[in-house]
A and B are shown apart, each in its own frame.
Chain A
Amino acid sequence: MLERLSDRDKRAMKIGLICAAGVVFVWLGAKWVGHWRQARRSLAEINAKLEIIGVDKTRQTALASIVPVFEMPQKEETQKFLFRNKLNEQLKQAGINSKPLQVLPAGKPRQDGYRMLRLKCSAKCKFGQVLDFLAKLNENPYLVGVEEMRLRCDAKNREDVELDLTVSTFVR
């Protein structure tokens, strides 16, 4: 049958076949490229996760020096007591007799969904006790940070100081 076809017909058939092959190739190629893109997206997401989890040793050490212990935030009712109790314990350990700790209302939710709850304490103590307290403050697993601190020395005995401290924690 092919022998009966003229050269022109054969050429037309060849071009047609090439075009058909081209269409199939483009169709399969597009699917393939799409799949590849999807795979790359998945890989990028996983890499981002891994980057968060697997910080390098130097950064890990730096983080551990700032946040040696950490507990995930609980609901406000739970978290504020946990935080208050631990802070109170740390004050006592440092020998600071503070006035009753005052819980300030939690703020608006942050971008990560957590709210910040602050705790205020006032005390008269020795300057050395303040240093002891600050040195061990990072061991509070609920602490986020010191928001405010005021130290006033006693005019007569400069070792005595008045301490006003506001510390924060995250609550869910």
Chain B
Amino acid sequence: MHDEKPNAKSVKLAPDRNIRGWRTAVAISQEAGRLNAVAVQRQAGKFEILWAKSCEGNQSKLGSFAAECGLPIDQPPNVSVGGGIDGDRVVVAGFNSAAVAFYRLWVPAIKEKDIEAVVRLQAETLLPLSAEQVELTWRLGRTRDGEVAVTVAAARKERLQEFVENVRGFGPAKILLDYEGIVKAWQTFFGGDLNEGDAAVVNMGARSTQVCLVEDGRLSNAAVVDIGADELLEGGGAGEQTEATEGFARDVASVLKLFGCAEPGELPVFVLSDGGDAMEGIVSSLKSAGLDARESPPLLEQLQAEGGISAEELYGYRVPIGLAMMGLEAGTELNLFEQLYRPFKEEEKKHWAYSLKAAGAIAAVTLALLVIVSYAVDAASPGAIEKRLKAAVSDADISALVQRQKLIKTVAAERPDLLEVLNYISSSGSKGILLDSVQFKKGQAVSITGQVDNPDLLYKFQESLLTKKGVKEVEIQNAAKDPKGDKFKFTITFHYKNFTKKGTGISGISGI
């Protein structure tokens, strides 16, 4: 299966079913120039490989490989199938931990939020690059003598961003370190026994070997030995001691010392194996070097697959299988991408109140309530008002009151204030003006006749009248010198409010 050639060739091990209630994880990893992907399904505590695919390529091909694996590319977040989590399927991308530096620190057992500052301070002193260039994550481990162990993982931010750009297209729900996948695979399918306490897990690649320290079932430190299976098996048969195997054993022993082992044999070393003779030989050489090395062959009974699965196949896909297992579980992974990548599903995780459906439903209910309340108010108001009115006055009284009020308004509109008119005339005149008569009749202009010493006084009288409220159209109808005397006789007319307008007549128009 892991021998598949460039153009992704798939091996279908079981029908690709996606039945609600089951959970499926699709994991894609990149190791030693190969891209591997598996779909693992969990059903009633058992695991089944649905399919596995492999092809040559580096991380820049991750997007196209994901597409070949059937994952939708560049789909918006609300797409229910494909990337991220859709209720049944979670997609996991594995980041090659060769680019990650692991550190193990001991810090005082203080509050977790305080620990963060301490860890960052300590980690930054260990990092070969400035803090701005590095992304780091950490996880608390066991506590001993008032101190707590901290596993720190750090990587260049630039490389992480590059990886994110490569995987963003298929929107994985998680981006995990592949070393964590190795540890998980060892525990689940390679006989990893957590009861035995701490252990070192050796994962052999073609050109390098990863050594992972496992404490309490979790990765707590890791290192890389630059000797891989290709070199170890080159020129030597199984079980033969060569310069390469001896060097490898020495390097592994050095790594164990780095992990804090005083003696190489005090920590069991589990070498992940495909069950072949070659691995057996490597384990023997490690044993010869004084290490407590043990072979961890695949336990095929732990995994189901239609048509069965071989030890080589399980070994070949151990990393994506381990990552897929982690995808199916909620764990405290070392997440180096926390600040750099936000999966679709997390973006979707908004409060229910922000959803369009909820808003629509609330609007509909509000509208319905508005209609009901409006109706209730309209239906109840006339009765309530009438009831209150009847409590205060009888029906007949209400009608009489309404009629009386109407009539008062009518009378007010019919009643000119003649006292006001006379006052206007009196206050507008001055010495030298003698009034002979004043005549008011509804529907006709008010008419004043009189005598004046000179026309100037008459003009002033006219202008003054015009300034009075309700007085309009003040006209001098005639002004002629009295042949019997020196005075001028005049007639002035003006309109007062609406009472003197034509058509007002007896019925009148509102003067207020």
Contacts and interface: CB of A to CB of B under 8 A. Distances in A.
To the question of whether A and B form a pair in one complex, the answer is: yes
A168 interface: yes
A135 interface: yes
Nearest to A135: B419
Contacts of B358: none
Interface in A73-116: 73, 107, 110, 112, 114, 116
B508 A36 contact: no
Interface in B126-183: none
B411 A67 contact: yes
Given A67-B412, A149-B439, A153-B437, A52 B405 contact: yes
B502 interface: no
Interface stretch (B114-122, B295-303, B378-386): B378-386
B415 A170 contact: no
A147 interface: yes
Given A49-B402, A168-B414, A43 B381 contact: yes
B422 A134 contact: yes
B98 interface: no
Interface string B424-453: 000000000011111111100000000000
A62 interface: yes
B439 A150 contact: yes
A134 B437 contact: no
A144 interface: yes
A70 interface: yes
A131 B415 contact: no
A54 B195 CA distance: 91
Interface in B209-267: none
A66 B382 contact: no
Interface residues of A, number: 47
A160 B416 CA distance: 24
Interface residues of B, number: 41
A24 interface: no
Contacts of B441: 147-149
A63 B409 CA distance: 7
B353 interface: no
Interface in B348-390: 375, 378-379, 381-382, 385-386
A49 B398 contact: yes
Contact of A149 (B375, B414, B440, B506): B440
A110 to B, nearest CB: 7
Contact of A62 (B410, B419, B434, B512): B512
A131 B421 CA distance: 11
A53 B453 CA distance: 54
A138 B416 CA distance: 10
Nearest to A153: B436
Contacts of A49: 398, 402
A66 B512 contact: yes
Contacts of A170: 407, 411
Interface string A137-153: 01000011111111111
A143 B382 contact: no
A158 interface: yes
A118 B437 CA distance: 23
Given A63-B408, A70-B407, A146-B418, 17 more contacts: A36-B379, A39-B381, A46-B382, A49-B398, A53-B402, A62-B512, A70-B411, A72-B404, A118-B506, A134-B422, A135-B419, A145-B415, A146-B416, A149-B441, A153-B435, A155-B436, A168-B414
Interface of A: 32, 35-36, 39-40, 42-43, 45-46, 49-50, 52-53, 55, 62-63, 66-67, 70, 72-73, 107, 110, 112, 114, 116, 118, 130-131, 134-135, 138, 143-153, 155, 158, 168, 170
**Which 3 A-B residue pairings sit nearest by Cβ, starting from the closest?**
A42-B382, A145-B415, A145-B414
15 contacts: A50-B385, A53-B405, A55-B405, A62-B412, A67-B415, A72-B400, A114-B407, A130-B422, A149-B418, A149-B438, A149-B439, A150-B440, A151-B437, A151-B439, A170-B411
